[in-house]
Amino acid sequence: MALTPPHEWGLQSDIFPRFGARLVQEGNCLYYLADRAGLIGIFTPEQLQKLEQAFLLFIAQLETLLRSGALNSHHQHLEAVHLAEFTCLADTRGSCGYVYIAIYPQA
């Protein structure tokens, strides 16, 4: 059974385990706030270490998608980024200020 925090941040999904977060968007820059993120389900220690190593690379890729217009703060559109052994799904949900993400191990 998966563990679910009282409030799930990020994109909702039926994929377990996953890391969800709501990133703050300022122009083409993204900022991570630890109190707007959480783990859903159980990651192995090895997965957590690899996720931590890949996280900044995901942020850089998402900022590239913002610069290119693939992620747009005015339009909802789901983008997928694959790095290392993980997939990151991202969408602004047309929120004008946030990017919601879900990162999970690739099967």
Model confidence pLDDT, tens digit, residues 43-70: 999 999 999 999 999 999 999 999 999 9
Compute the average pLDDT of residues 13-36. Answer: 95
In a domain, 4, yes or no: no
**pLDDT > 80? residue 11:** yes
**pLDDT > 80? residue 2:** no
Tell me the CATH number at 90.
3.30.450.20
Burial classification of residue 57, based on how many CB atoms lie within 10 Å of its CB (0-12 exposed, 13-18 middle, 19 or more buried): middle
The closest of 39, 33, 41 to 17, measured between CA atoms, is 41
**Percent of the chain at pLDDT above 70?**
93
Alpha-carbon span 97 to 77, nearest angstrom: 14
Alpha-carbon span 26 to 43, nearest angstrom: 30
pLDDT at 96: 85
Give the residue numbers spanning the domain of 51.
18-105
Give the total number of structural domains in the chain. Answer: 1
pLDDT at 6: 57
pLDDT at 34: 93
In a domain, 10, yes or no: no
More confident residue, 73 or 63: 63
**pLDDT > 50? residue 4:** no
> Residue 49: which residues within 8 A CB-CB, separation 6 or more?
none
Q: pTM for the complete prediction?
A: 0.91
